[in-house]
Amino acid sequence: MGLFRKLKGELIDIIEWVDSSNDTIIWKFPRYENEIKNGAKLTVRESQVAIFVNKGQIADVFQPGLHTLSTDNMPILTTLQGWKYGFNSPFKVDIYFVSTRQFTNRKWGTKNPIMLRDAEFGPIRLRAFGSYCFKIQDDASIFFKTIAGTNPEFRTEDIEDQLRNLILTRFTDFLAESKIPALDLAANYNELSQDISDIIANDFSEYGIDITKFLVENISLPEEVEKALDKRTSMGVVGDLNKYTQFQFADSLKASAEGGGHSMASDAMGLAMGMGMANQMIQQQQQNVQQQNVQQQGAAAAPPPIPGEIQFHIAVNGQQQGPFNMASLQQMMSNGQFDRNTLVWKQGMAGWEQAGNVPELANIFASTPPPPPPIPNP
């Protein structure tokens, strides 16, 4: 990566870094005999920064361009070396190239499921994964001092574990606090990506790194929960299960008739459909019983008679009717619907009695004229 040239017996340094990798962040330039000549040429390409380190201390930082090393463009190093009137002899300094390009398609994901409490499913475990992009800030000295140090070569793999752990911590905390239902997460990937990117931006910045893109690609439920959800979805597609069962039963009978006989498969299906129809009939009977119970409960909930008013039930053609108060019974007697022989019952009586034998009804019959005598024969 480094290049040295020897021209007319004089050693002239050409310092540059041609990066052929996709994951190198920092690369230390190897110096010939550990010295750099006055007037050496330094080439810093776009998306690169060159850092000069003198005795472990950052001196001058060079941005992209072609630089001829002299006291004019190395003010800090000149001061540290004590060059007041320039220099002519070789000097020693460590040169680090830092890549400031964007490192894309870095992966993140959960090693273990995230335990969350969902409003619909209750406690669940979720897995998530995605990708992100980052770059070293233009002021590369922050990353150099905070993370890389004096490593002669620093790659993305040396920092990715730390970045991934930071992402997962912030992601888990944000997802739990957002309380987004599990079934609505897919509709919020864009919002989640943007919100989490904003949250981790400050954390990355402390390392001298800019997060340029963060994407949530998938959040998945455990396999057993997904299977249960598939069954639930299938039931929703079927719709009315009773009508679907009837359709299958009719279709199986048609297929059996067209086949001209029976088979184990058709018999088994017929048995299953028959059981389904029987279950349907039982369910219908249970619903009828429930409706009758509701009606009886409604009748039982009717208000009691007015205190002091006597009411009687009467038997007409073997069926119970009523209860009727005194005024109603007197009107019915006038219409011929009630007489002394009518069986009556009221609360407190041991059994049914003829109306003429009940003391409370004596006044009704006493106020009623007797039937006219028979007309004599001429």
Q: Give me the pLDDT at residue 310, please.
A: 83
What secondary structure does DSSP assign to 328-343, as a single string? HHHHHHHTTS--TTSE
Place of tokens 């690169």: 48
140 CB burial (10 A radius; 0-12, 13-18, 19+): buried
Matching CATH number, 102-225, of 3.30.70.270, 3.30.479.30, 3.40.605.10, 3.40.50.620: 3.30.479.30
Percent of the chain at pLDDT > 70 equals 72
Rg of the chain over Cα atoms, rounded to whole angstroms, equals: 49
pLDDT band at 199 (very low <50, low <70, confident <90, very high): very high
pLDDT band at 246 (very low <50, low <70, confident <90, very high): low
d(CA 14, CA 83): 22
Average pLDDT over residues 214-220: 93
d(CA 371, CA 292): 44
pTM: 0.57
162 CB burial (10 A radius; 0-12, 13-18, 19+): exposed
Length of the chain: 378
d(CA 224, CA 90): 70
d(CA 5, CA 236): 77
Q: Does 366 or 299 have the greater pLDDT score?
A: 366
Q: Where are the domains of the chain?
A: 3-99, 102-225, 240-289, 312-366
Q: Give me the pLDDT at residue 254, please.
A: 65
- Digit-coded pLDDT (tens) for 312-325: 888 888 888 888 88
- Cis peptide, bond prior to residue 372, ω within 30 of zero: no
User: SS3 of 91, please?
Assistant: strand
Contact 40, 15 (CB under 8 A): yes
How many other CB atoms are there within 10 angstroms of residue 355's CB atom?
21
pLDDT of 189 > 90? The answer is: yes
pLDDT of 50 > 50? The answer is: yes
pLDDT of 216 > 50? The answer is: yes
Q: Give me the pLDDT at residue 268, please.
A: 56
Percent of the chain at pLDDT > 90 equals 33
User: SS3 of 308, please?
Assistant: coil
The CATH number that domain 312-366 falls under is 3.30.1490
Q: Give me the pLDDT at residue 376, please.
A: 63
d(CA 268, CA 64): 80
**Fold equal for 102-225 and 312-366:** no
- Mean of pLDDT over the chain: 80
Q: Give me the pLDDT at residue 270, please.
A: 57
Contact 98, 44 (CB under 8 A): no
- Digit-coded pLDDT (tens) for 78-88: 888 877 666 66
Contact 50, 73 (CB under 8 A): no
d(CA 263, CA 269): 10
Q: Give me the pLDDT at residue 253, please.
A: 61
Q: Cβ contacts of residue 184 below 8 Å, gap of 6+?
A: none
- Digit-coded pLDDT (tens) for 307-357: 667 888 888 888 888 888 888 888 888 888 888 889 999 988 888 998 888
Q: Give me the pLDDT at residue 234, please.
A: 66
